[in-house]
Chains A and B, each alone.
Chain A
Amino acid sequence: MTTLPTTRATRAPLVRPPLSPPSLARAASTIVWRNLLHIRRMPEMLLDVTVQSVMFVLLFAYVFGGAIAVAGSDYREFLLPGIMVQTMVFSSAVVATGLTNDLQKGIVDRFRSLPIPRSAVLVGRSISSLIHSSIGVAVMGLTGLLIGWRIRNGVVDGVLAFLLLLLFGFAVIWLGIWVGSIMRTVEAVQGFMFTVMFPLTFVANTFAPTESMPTWLRFVAEWNPISAVTQACRELWGNGLPAPADAAWPLQHAVPVSVGWSLLLTAVFAPLAVSAFRRRSRD
């Protein structure tokens, strides 16, 4: 193959050094490094949580916002927590497309042929997706500050709300892994996730108060986990009034209910996701 002069040293056979198979933490962080390199090489991967979300903020704050009446609060204050939860929910689509892509291209097989803990691929993928979404949340926060959103309740509550967002993001990531393991192509995953995610994030209190919705729809919206998390963030950040007295039970206890929803979603989707991923990568 080559007629280039090569030194004797480069031609000598490699001698295998002692292998020390990596721990889960080391293997997963290597995979995170690799996934983040992808983002650095293709910053357009972040469009979904940056430009797209900023566009949402501007559209709702300036186009629809004037027509949406929010009791006791400025609409922009009301909007920001909703958009942040939506950004977090979209991380399930991020994890699903990334995973399907790796499965399709045989990268997962390459990883699985190496002596690493079995769960490293999923753990690495989840962490990098959370980082991906967190970048989105940070961009939202800065955009919010520019247009008048503020954290009014002190540092502890403020940080608590961000942690709640991360916890909820972690829960919906399992849904993404499940979908990503079942579907065969990236296009199918994107189609499916956006058909499901858009109505889910809109039939909620994210963009408009639920009080004006028809009774049945209001019921659905108020039991939507996304509404509880949004309400919890609003309360912790001091954006707007507590839920109205006639709102459904989850909104009356938004913070503990959000934690509960996150744990419940994880309990339901994590086993489904792990078994679908195993099945997909066994054959």
Chain B
Amino acid sequence: MGGTAAVEAVDLVKHFGTNRAVDGVSFVVPEGTVLGLLGPNGAGKTTLVRMLTTLSVPTSGTGRVAGFDVVTQPNEVRRSMGLTGQAATVDEILTGAENLRLVGALYGLPRAYVRDATERLLDRFDLTDAADRMAKTYSGGMRRRLDLAVSLLAAPPILFLDEPTTGLDPKSRSGLWAVLRELVDEGTTLLLTTQYLEEADQLADEIVVVDKGKVIAAGTPTQLKDEAGRASVVITLTHARDLAAAADLVRAHSPEVHVDRTGRRVTARAGGLGDMTRIAAAFEASGIELDDLGLARPSLDDVFLHLTGHRAEDAEDTEEAEPGPITEGAAP
């Protein structure tokens, strides 16, 4: 079975009037792998997922899920996949358990199976205590978990997740990642969209970067980060007058050095932890006073800046969940 395509997009196009939301996108997700669709708001990620899950009819191009055509065999496609949409689409008036029962009945699953699966899914997603409460009393994280549980009820071999962790706090986010990894271990194929490079990095075997409806890069997370520029060492000085001396000092260790006068910062491309330690030692010896010295990994913004020359116009309302550039002591 290995090697066959679970999901396939061939030159998919979707126009809304004059807006080319998706403008010729192709990719393949092999069975049992995870594809991350990475891009800023408005890149066309959601539209792509809607076309592949039969919710939206493509203007042109072909989509196949489990080998079935999304336009001509929508029912076969719906039987093969689960979808967790961007807004958690649970019924707020029903309880958690009733939401599962509703979808179980609509799938045509046997009652005994639904009862057993409901219990197990609620347990798995930490919702057993809330099972008989209306979903409108749930927190954002609980709704997402319920939404995911509902998508998993029929144990679909392929799962689509549209920005599964947007708006979640870091703890809920890593909890969700752990569940998704378990699913992958069990053999589920995942296609997930995200605005966060870190998330794609954590979960995906392959990343497709989309911007303005087009694929602008594709590859493994490592390939993409290499392309976007490796890690850099960021040095913040205590006194602006030391900038020139600091830059000279760093140049001995790095081929590419950038000086930011207003921020009293020197940024140097670095290979990793080794470079950072050498640069730190050199400053220690020079006697130049520092406020901060750290290693920064490329963020989604850096990938975008590199690939498109413009910044990712990111959501302003999801700041709490934005991992951003991470300053850390470990080499990538």
- Complex: A37 Cα to B119 Cα, angstroms: 21
Residue A212, interface by CB 8 Å: no
Q: Write the chain B residue with the least CB distance to A22.
A: B108
- B321 CB to closest chain A CB (Å) equals 16
Neighbour of B106 across the interface among A6, A106, A111, CB < 8 A? A111
Q: A34-B91, A34-B102, A115-B107 are in contact. Are A2 and B57 (CB under 8 A)?
A: no
Interface centre among B93, B121, B174, by most A CB within 10 Å? B93
Task: Determine whether the beta carbon of A107 is less than 8 Å from that of B89.
Answer: yes
Residue B202, interface by CB 8 Å: no
Q: Write the chain B residue with the least CB distance to A11.
A: B124
Q: Chain A: interface residue count, which band?
A: 35 or more
Task: Determine whether the beta carbon of B91 is less than 8 Å from that of A41.
Answer: no
Q: A22-38 toward B: CB 8 Å interface, digit per residue (1/0)?
A: 10001100110110011
- Complex: A282 Cα to B121 Cα, angstroms: 31
- B65 CB to closest chain A CB (Å) equals 11
Task: Determine whether the beta carbon of A2 is less than 8 Å from that of B186.
Answer: no
Which stretch from B175-183, B269-277, B299-307 is at the chain A interface?
Answer: B175-183
Q: A1-B176, A6-B123, A283-B16 are in contact. Are A106 and B85 (CB under 8 A)?
A: yes
Residues of A within 8 A of B261 (CB): none
Task: Determine whether the beta carbon of B126 is less than 8 Å from that of A21.
Answer: no
Residue B78, interface by CB 8 Å: yes
Neighbour of B105 across the interface among A14, A15, A22, A109, CB < 8 A? A22
Residues of A within 8 A of B120 (CB): 9-10, 14
Task: Determine whether the beta carbon of A113 is less than 8 Å from that of B55.
Answer: yes
Q: Write the chain A residue with the least CB distance to B145.
A: A1
Which stretch from B109-117, B216-224, B228-236, B247-255 is at the chain A interface?
Answer: B109-117
Task: Determine whether the beta carbon of B89 is less than 8 Å from that of A109.
Answer: yes
Task: Determine whether the beta carbon of A13 is less than 8 Å from that of B155.
Answer: yes
Residue B54, interface by CB 8 Å: yes
- A122 CB to closest chain B CB (Å) equals 15
Q: A6-B123, A19-B109, A22-B108 are in contact. Are A1 and B154 (CB under 8 A)?
A: no
Residue A112, interface by CB 8 Å: yes
Neighbour of A16 across the interface among B53, B81, B89, B154, CB < 8 A? B154
- Complex: A26 Cα to B107 Cα, angstroms: 11
Task: Determine whether the beta carbon of B134 is less than 8 Å from that of A110.
Answer: no
Q: A34-B91, A37-B98, A112-B55 are in contact. Are A21 and B155 (CB under 8 A)?
A: no
Residues of A within 8 A of B174 (CB): 1
Q: Write the chain B residue with the least CB distance to A34.
A: B102
Residues of A within 8 A of B85 (CB): 106, 109-110
Q: Write the chain A residue with the least CB distance to B83.
A: A113
Residue A20, interface by CB 8 Å: yes
Residue B75, interface by CB 8 Å: yes
Task: Determine whether the beta carbon of A114 is less than 8 Å from that of B124.
Answer: no
Residue B238, interface by CB 8 Å: no
Residue B56, interface by CB 8 Å: yes
- Complex: A282 Cα to B71 Cα, angstroms: 11
Q: A1-B126, A4-B126, A37-B98 are in contact. Are A14 and B155 (CB under 8 A)?
A: yes
Residues of B within 8 A of A248 (CB): none
Interface centre among A6, A113, A116, by most B CB within 10 Å? A113
Task: Determine whether the beta carbon of B106 is less than 8 Å from that of A116.
Answer: yes
- Complex: A190 Cα to B129 Cα, angstroms: 37
Task: Determine whether the beta carbon of B109 is less than 8 Å from that of A17.
Answer: yes
- Complex: A1 Cα to B145 Cα, angstroms: 11
Task: Determine whether the beta carbon of A283 is less than 8 Å from that of B56.
Answer: yes
Q: Write the chain A residue with the least CB distance to B104.
A: A30
Residues of A within 8 A of B331 (CB): none
Q: B289-301 toward A: CB 8 Å interface, digit per residue (1/0)?
A: 0000000000000
Residues of B within 8 A of A15 (CB): 155
Q: B77-109 toward A: CB 8 Å interface, digit per residue (1/0)?
A: 011010101010101111000100011011111
Q: Write the chain A residue with the least CB distance to B179.
A: A1
- Complex: A38 Cα to B119 Cα, angstroms: 23
Residues of B within 8 A of A283 (CB): 16, 56-57
Residues of A in contact with B (beta carbons under 8 Å apart): 1-2, 4, 6, 9-11, 13-17, 19-22, 26-27, 30-31, 33-34, 37-38, 41-42, 105-107, 109-116, 281-283
In the complex, besides A1-B176, A37-B94, A283-B57, 17 extra interface pairs with C-beta distance below 8 angstroms are A1-B125, A2-B126, A10-B120, A10-B123, A14-B117, A17-B113, A19-B79, A21-B107, A22-B108, A30-B105, A30-B106, A34-B102, A107-B91, A111-B106, A112-B54, A114-B107, A283-B56
Residues of B in contact with A (beta carbons under 8 Å apart): 16, 53-57, 75, 78-79, 81, 83, 85, 87, 89, 91-94, 98, 102-103, 105-110, 113, 117, 119-121, 123-126, 134, 150, 152-157, 172, 174-176, 178-179, 186
Query: Which 4 pairs of residues, A with B, have the shortest CB-CB distance?
Result: A1-B175, A106-B89, A16-B155, A14-B155
